[in-house]
Structure 1
Amino acid sequence: MHGERCLACGIEPTRRYGDAGGIIEVHHLEPLALLKKPRPYDPVSDLVPLCPCCHRAVHTRHPMPWSIEDLQSMMKA
């Protein structure tokens, strides 16, 4: 579906780290903490792959995580 490339930084952990690098995390574009009630997610439109570093970085802001675009801008600065 989305593959194993981090949407924020572009790293492909398996290509970078070989056998030790099959590490990609799934990020919910709509923060789960802000949901009033659970709902089904569409993997294509609601979830994106992030490497562990980028996933942690977007969640340093609470309660609303940084957007992928915000994070990309910070990485360029």
Structure 2
Amino acid sequence: MRYPGLARRMGWSGTLLIEFVVQKDGSADMVRIVSSSGVPLLDRDARETVLKSAPFPKPPVSATLRFPMEYKLEN
């Protein structure tokens, strides 16, 4: 995961909750932001990161994953 350049320059940070389905072939489907970071750019970047990270390891059945993603600038 890479921090978006504009968000870094503007000092934007936040935590969001993302959910998606890993299909039996490892593809990502139904990617959605469950709880926004409050920064649309970070939300879009998180969604794009999931889609670009596919294919995932193939599960025996389709699996729904939900987890927080944190964008935090280090000093």
TM over 0.5: no
Q: Which has the higher contact order (CA 8 A, sep 6+)?
A: 2
Scaled by the length of structure 1, the TM-score of the pair is 0.29
More helix by share: 1
Scaled by the length of structure 2, the TM-score of the pair is 0.30
